[in-house]
Amino acid sequence: MIAHVERNRRPVIGICAVRERARWSFWDQPAHLVADSYVASVQRAGAVALLLPVDDEAPVELLDRIDALLLIGGADMDPSFYGAERDPRTESTYPDRDAFEIAMLRGAIERGMPVLGICRGMQVLNVALGGTLVQHIPEVGGVAPHRRAVGTFDGTDHVVELEADSLAARAAGELAHTARCHHHQAVGELGEGLVVTGRAQQDGMIEAIELADGAWVLGVQWHPEADERSRLFASLTEAARSASKAG
C-alpha cells in the first residue's frame, strides 16, 4: 500500500516565500508570504504547493523534499549581486531573499530539478548564472510600457513571440503567447548557459530565457498566475512528476 501511494503521489512544488512585515487578524509583524495566485495555480495544476521560507543559512537540503522549484515575482534584486552600482530608480531590495533564492536555484540546477522563474524569478535565474539586469526600463511618452500602474496588470496585455522548439513554446503551448506583465527592470547581459527564447512583439524586450542544454529550467518575464488559461503551471507539474518518477 505504501509503495502504491508513493507511486501516485502528487508532485511537490516548492515556492520561495517573501519575508517582510504584514498585518493579519490581531498581528502586525514579520511574516513569510506567497500570494494565493501562485499557490492556487500550482494546486489547480495538480501539484502540492510547499512554501519555502527565507533562511539566512540557505539550506539547500530543502530541495530534497520537493520535485520542482518556483521563484515568484516581487521586489527588485540588489544590484550588488550582479556587480552594479545602485541606480536611483531601483526600488526596495531584500538581499536576504536574493541570497536565499540564488542558492536554492543553483542547487536545483545541480540536481537537475525543474525550475520556473516568474518575473523577478527570471531575473534571479539570469543573475544566478552571472548575468546582469537593466535597472529601469526607459519610459515611452512618460508611460512605463511593462508596468502601467503599480499593483495591477491592467493595460499590460501584450504578445510574446516564442522560439519554435523551445522549452518556453512547449510549456506555453504556442508560439505567440498573450501575456500580462508588471516589471520595470529587465534582463541585461545574459547569464552563462542561457539562451533567449521569447521577446515582446511590441518592443523586443526579453520575455523568456532557458538553459541551452535542454534542462527544464525556464524563466518568463510575464505573470502566468494572473491568467487561468496559462499552461505553464501544468507544464511545470508534469516536469516535476517526471523528475519524481525518474528519481
| Number of other residues whose CB lies within 10 A of the CB of residue 92 | 9
Smallest Cα–Cα separation from 72: which of 228, 222, 193?
222
**Distance in angstroms (rounded) separating the CA atoms of residues 97 and 75:** 10
63 burial via Cβ count (<10 Å: 0-12, 13-18, 19+): buried
Catalytic residue among 16, 119, 177, 181: 119
| Number of other residues whose CB lies within 10 A of the CB of residue 20 | 15
Under 8 Å between Cβ of 46 and 8 = no
Catalytic residue among 182, 183, 184, 223: 223
Q: Would residue 16 show up in a list of annotated catalytic residues for this protein?
A: no
Q: Would residue 158 show up in a list of annotated catalytic residues for this protein?
A: no
Rg of the chain (C-alpha set): 17
Q: Would residue 192 show up in a list of annotated catalytic residues for this protein?
A: no
> Which residues are designated catalytic?
119, 223, 225
